[in-house]
Structure 1
């Protein structure tokens, strides 16, 4: 009879935020330094600390990764990010909670977990040469639509 493993590792989902900042018709992205998606462009973000509200985490991570100061408007969607090993086994599962943020001050400079940080026009996200994390273009367009709708009401 084969031995039964005493402990089978089952990763629990990790809550994290991503900050979607639209400013002057462009969206702020960072090129990730660490897995998952190292080397790919995505939103500034990271893990939520215990007791930290989602919006606060998004603004904190935005500043840590880019030097840009922002103000959270609202949570607007969530996406999954899976980190798998070379055999396809799940190492980590992140639930990324997207927070629409207003730009307050600062020019993007890569910091913390980012290799680069810069503004992109939405049409640039369709370029074949730009390595994006999964769902970045979709979330960016959703953020832009919400920002435009809200700005039109004020």
Structure 2
């Protein structure tokens, strides 16, 4: 059984999933949870902020890339705990597909590094990628091709 070490409710957050030139934009996180791992730009939804606005804001804050949020791809539960089996973090991440407008990406805010990855490159990240990054990249790239 998983118990909570802090109680409370899950934290709602967004992931900005951007495809450009058949590549996805990933950031290497500077802070926990997932410090040092590659994942999609994102973060907390601010009080009164809509999902799409949060995705666009987080994307710009972390990478400088401008995009227009277009659709919700999926929602993910992310639970992280310690050795005592207590949940230290519980996030509900809403993955939002964003249409690239401008910018190549530069690390800022919570991002230690920013880069564009092909699906093969994402697969090669292995344990240096956050959970579900490969599956989400596959979904985003297939949706991108459908809409093109």
Same fold (TM over 0.5): yes
Aligned partners of 2:127, 2:84: CA distance in 1, in Å? Answer: 26
Matching residue within 35, 55, 68 for 1:38: 35
User: 8 Å contact 2:12–2:91 — kept in the other structure?
Assistant: yes
For residue 138 of structure 1, give the secondary structure of its aligned residue in structure 2: helix
Report deviation, 1:89: 1.4
Report deviation, 1:128: 5.3
Does residue 108 of structure 1 match 2:111?
A: no
Report deviation, 1:11: 3.3
Matching residue within 80, 84, 89 for 1:87: 84
Q: 1:61 to 1:147 in 2, by over 3 A?
A: same
Report deviation, 1:9: 3.7
Unaligned runs of 5+ in 2: none
Runs ≥4 residues deviating over 3 A: none
Q: 1:128 to 1:143 in 2, by over 3 A?
A: closer
In the other structure, the counterpart of 1:3 is: none
CA RMSD of aligned residues (A): 1.5
The CA deviation string for residues 125-153 of structure 1, in whole angstroms up to 9 with x for no partner, is 121566100000000110111111112xx
Q: 1:128 to 1:21 in 2, by over 3 A?
A: closer
Does residue 73 of structure 1 match 2:31?
A: no
Please report the TM-score for the alignment, with normalisation by the length of structure 2: 0.92
Aligned partners of 1:110, 1:149: CA distance in 2, in Å? Answer: 30
Q: 1:36 to 1:147 in 2, by over 3 A?
A: same
Please report the TM-score for the alignment, with normalisation by the length of structure 1: 0.88
Q: 1:13 to 1:69 in 2, by over 3 A?
A: same
Aligned partners of 1:139, 1:34: CA distance in 2, in Å? Answer: 21
Aligned partners of 1:50, 1:90: CA distance in 2, in Å? Answer: 24
Q: 1:75 to 1:129 in 2, by over 3 A?
A: closer
Bigger mean CA deviation after superposition, 12-21 or 80-89:
80-89
